[in-house]
Chains A and B, each alone.
Chain A
């Protein structure tokens, strides 16, 4: 039988497809490929809906990766937040591979050139939603460790979802497990991971995520290259991405707070200003009222003068 070039690709995909026989899921197509797993669109035949199924595509004789995938599912299951994709089910396929299912997310990744980012305010509001999801995770002792534009999804209605918790780390005294694999002394993505991650430091904490969020903010601002970036925003990016973790924002909430202040025209912690600059900013922020009051004063003065001289 002759195998065409397109048939080669179909056969490759077919050989890789997970065996879903005996499960309630029906395979539809492959959505993407991650470090240790692939994600497929499947149909849940019981609830009659389409969901996503993530499965390891590495034959793992010692079950280390199975444990990691299970850990990933458990991490996500702990985080019930609108910015984090919910996990539905977890199990083992007939071919021995561990899988979990989750909500099928429609949308585009932040690094997709066709993702519509909108104006500066809209970009920053989307960024705040990312911060909210990450701060929520930190409040539950979970550090993402792989935040980057390709792990952020933007839905068709502006929803923001933080994806791929495969490298997440659970902190805390009784559950301090670094679930990096035996070959992963350094976890994260170059260009987005904090210096302490690149060095392979053993105590990588929430401040590493602060750094990564700073790189995402930088990415967002760069995407709007046609518009100049204000000095205050640049200062925020700089503070979030300081090489020394102690010099960064102390938490994701502090970073988010500065972004909120910026949006409201208020003072930002990352950009100290003198009294003159503060006063000018106060004037710009309240110019509508100032102009109204000035207009009133001018009108009243003119009226008084007219009365006196007429």
Chain B
């Protein structure tokens, strides 16, 4: 049964235990498995959908079905039993599972049915399809590179959206607008602090402080998301370093 919400989000607060994503996905409790599935979907559905479309050349409808069915099967059939965080990143493992899953479905030549025990939020496939159309693919990009980049894009999109919500609810909408101007929109870095200050009716020194606040919060949110979507301390550190130039040393 499909829920009507458009938002993709984590259905509830994820367990405080670190890197219990995989354990939760294998939990005997249905609610725990649902939460794990929500996290996996939020972090990976877009790169998986795009990967199926680009590498496997599936049409839109088949790619949608395969994306959703993949997540159902991953938990139902415990794809994670063979996952070893010491040998591979979770996203690399997932991509390999997706390839195996699609290859098997091709062989079976059956359309998969959606559903099973899990509930899915509506996924914004139209948005994902739009991103694919505007994306330029360098010839040298491997499937792994493509998947990694789409994972980063998905992660940053979620983080930006969460930052926007938090800034607005804290009365810091200008902080977000400055962040958007400087760090997302094209040509943002050409705007001087004085110009930005005049535009928003604030002091130039406030521009420095507001931007610093937004960037700090963005970094925090991204690191939280990376923690949720990685399966070990080492993987988290590697991803954090690769993503943000930050290395976490314990």
A14-B215, A21-B213, A26-B193 known; A6 vs B152 contact (CB < 8 Å)? no
Q: How many residues of A contact B (CB 8 A)?
A: 34
The interface residues of chain A, by DSSP majority, are classed as: mixed
Interface residue from B161, B183, B186 paired with A14 (Cβ < 8 Å): B183
> Which segment of A54-62, A204-212, A238-246 sits at the interface?
A54-62
- Judge whether A279 is part of the interface by a CB distance below 8 angstroms: no
Does the CB pair A16–B135 fall under 8 Å? no
Number of chain B residues whose Cβ lies closer than 8 Å to a Cβ of chain A: 41
The answer to whether A10 touches B188 (Cβ under 8 A) is yes
Q: Contacting B153 at CB < 8 Å: which of A3, A17, A61?
A: A3
Once A and B bind, how many residue pairs between them come within 8 Å at the CB atom?
Answer: 96
Nearest CB in chain A: distance from B227 CB, A? 13
User: Complex: how many Å from CA A60 to CA B186?
Assistant: 33
Q: Please give, as numbers and ranges, the residues of chain A lying within 8 Å of B250 by CB-CB distance.
A: 61
Bound CA span A167–B241, Å: 22
Tell me the bound Cα distance from A13 to B243 in angstroms: 9
Q: Is B44 an interface residue (CB 8 A)?
A: no
Contact A8–B249 (Cβ < 8 Å): no
CB distance from B128 to the nearest CB of A (A): 10
Q: Given the interface contacts A8-B149, A14-B182, A95-B216, does A57 sit within 8 Å of B156 by beta carbon?
A: no
Q: Is A19 an interface residue (CB 8 A)?
A: yes
Task: List A7-38 residues whose CB lies under 8 Å from chain B.
Answer: 7-8, 10-17, 19-22, 26-27, 29, 33, 38
Residues of chain A lying within 8 A (CB to CB) of residue B119:
none
Of A5, A7, A29, A59, which one neighbours B184 at CB under 8 angstroms? A7
Q: Please determine whether A38 and B245 come into contact, CB atoms closer than 8 angstroms.
A: yes
Q: Check B208 for interface membership: any CB of A closer than 8 A.
A: yes
- The chain B residue sitting closest to A62, CB to CB, is B249
B234 at the interface (CB under 8 A from A): no
Q: Is the CB of A16 within 8 A of B184?
A: no
Evaluate contact between A33 and B245: CB separation under 8 angstroms: yes
Q: Which residues of B contact A15 (CB under 8 A)?
A: 215, 218-219, 222, 243-246
CB < 8 Å neighbour of A16 from B130, B153, B244, B249: B244
* Chain B residue contacts of A58, Cβ below 8 A: 246-247, 249
Q: Could you tell me if A59 and B245 are in contact, using CB atoms closer than 8 angstroms?
A: no
Q: Which residues of A contact B127 (CB under 8 A)?
A: 2
Chain B 114-146 near chain A by CB (<8 Å), digits 1 or 0: 000000000000010011001110000000000
Question: How many angstroms from the CA of A38 to the CA of B244 in the assembled complex?
Answer: 12
B244 surroundings in chain A (CB, below 8 A): 12, 15-16
Which residues in B have their C-beta under 8 angstroms from that of A156?
A: none
> Contacts of B243 on A, CB cut-off 8 Å?
12, 15
Give the B-binding residues of A (Cβ under 8 A): 1-8, 10-17, 19-22, 26-27, 29, 33, 38, 57-62, 65, 94-95
Q: Report the 6 A-B pairs with minimum CB-CB distance, sorted nearest first.
A: A14-B183, A21-B212, A16-B245, A21-B209, A19-B212, A15-B219
